[in-house]
Amino acid sequence: MRAPPGLHLHYLSLAEYQSAQWGDVLGVATFNGSDATNPEVAGPAGIPVAHVGTPVLAAAGDLYEVWRCGEPAESGEHERVRFRRSGELLFGCIAVPETGGTRACDNGHPPLQEATAQAYRQIFATVAAENYPHLLRIWNYLPAINRDEHGSERYRQFNRARQLAMRACGRAPQGNVPAASALGSPLASPLVVYFLAARTAPTFVENPRQVSAYHYPREYGSHSPAFSRATLLRQGARLMLFISGTASIVGHRSLHLGDTAAQTRETLANIEALLAEANRAVRGARFELDTLACKVYVRRPADLPLVQAELEAALGGGARVVYLQADICRQDLLVEIEAAAMYPCAA
């Protein structure tokens, strides 16, 4: 059974995914990682599956993030990147282990920096070769994201490698850059990256309450994070909004240190500001909080009830929200929220 044409997002259990038997799945991300060696997960169509070890909160078993395209799709591989493409969209994923443990590589670079450079070079090569040049959304999961190693925090090593790979592949690290997030994953996990790309360029959206991430001052690292706060794509009569990982940051400063509930409220205020910008940017857009599918990352599992209460108050009890435990890019941030929405819109 196929969905109507256009991108669709579902959060499912393994049993729900297996029973659906959809023929238009573009790609899947799984969380908890217990199925990482299960060849049955992808199914006979060769659907790419990003296996992320980040634990699921408030639910039993693994979580399946399923992206459907509503039309026939074809699978392929380019080096380590596994992908599936429809006429307009491509979903891809790559997992790159860090070689050498904690030792520097032969060229003196930290292992995470080498893994990130390899992943991004192969992603850029894939979208160029398949003619889906516009990256819409990228998800990055790296182990021990906040740990200091080889003289700097691992998240800063990741940002350096990402930005250098973009420059080396002829992509500017500022302005028209994809929406993205970067979260921690369990120790000994590989770097896992999955992404959506399109043939058509999206609209790039920034938040007036925040400094653009690619303009952060050097106190956050020698190389700024290279992502837009959101991207917005019109595909025929459908609008698709991808909101990057969003946290309790105003300007470029973290707010409400130590207060999980207040950080959650500030994060939601930032998302509301992004929705207002998206609605202004594209004629016919009418995104609201209760139209979003949200993925919420909580640093401390004990804080989950506080975060859930704030989300339910803001979005209502029927909202599509899933909760994961993960370390966040700044050690003083306790919660991060990403979101997506798709709906028909008159041309």
Mind listing the pLDDT tens digit for each residue in 206-223? 999 999 999 999 999 999
Mind listing the pLDDT tens digit for each residue in 28-81? 999 984 544 454 455 546 899 999 999 999 877 889 999 999 999 999 999 999
Structure tokens at 181: 């997030």
Is residue 256 pLDDT above 60, yes or no?
yes
What is the distance between the alpha carbons of residues 48 and 124, in angstroms, rounded to a whole number? Answer: 17
What is the distance between the alpha carbons of residues 200 and 133, in angstroms, rounded to a whole number? Answer: 8
Q: Which pLDDT score is estimated for 39? A: 43
- How far out from the chain centre does Cα 178 lie? 10
Structure tokens at 224: 């700024």
pTM for the complete prediction?
0.95
- How far out from the chain centre does Cα 85 lie? 18
Mind listing the pLDDT tens digit for each residue in 310-338? 999 999 888 899 999 999 999 999 999 99
HSE-CB at 316 with a 13 A cutoff on CA atoms is: 9
Q: Can you list the alpha helix ranges (DSSP code H) found in 63-153?
A: 111-129
Q: What SS3 class is residue 311? A: helix
Q: Which pLDDT score is estimated for 106? A: 54
Angle, CA 340 vertex, CA 337 and CA 341 arms, to 5°: 140
Q: Which pLDDT score is estimated for 58? A: 85
Angle between helices 154-168 and 111-129 (to 10 degrees): 40
What is the distance between the alpha carbons of residues 142 and 18, in angstroms, rounded to a whole number? Answer: 28
Mind listing the pLDDT tens digit for each residue in 263-317? 999 999 999 999 999 999 988 889 999 999 999 999 999 999 999 999 999 998 8
For residues 26 and 132, the answer to whether their CB atoms sit within 8 Å is no
The residue type found at 115 is A
Spatial CA neighbour of 110 closest among 119, 120, 118, 102: 102
- Distance (Å) of CA 257 to CA 112, 125, 211, 262, 330: 28, 41, 19, 9, 11
Map out the domains of the chain as residue ranges: 8-344
What is the distance between the alpha carbons of residues 155 and 148, in angstroms, rounded to a whole number? Answer: 9
What CATH class does 8-344 carry? alpha beta
336 is catalytic: yes
Q: Which pLDDT score is estimated for 44? A: 46
Query: Residues 114, 153, 310, 336: which is the catalytic one?
Result: 336
Mind listing the pLDDT tens digit for each residue in 224-255? 999 999 999 998 888 999 999 999 999 999 99
Give the position of tokens 């609209």. 203
- For the residues 137-164, what does the mean pLDDT come to? 97
- Distance (Å) of CA 232 to CA 97, 105, 274, 326, 331: 32, 39, 11, 26, 29
What is the distance between the alpha carbons of residues 203 and 232, in angstroms, rounded to a whole number? Answer: 5
Percentage, residues of the chain above pLDDT 70:
92
Mind listing the pLDDT tens digit for each residue in 119-143? 999 999 999 999 999 999 999 999 9
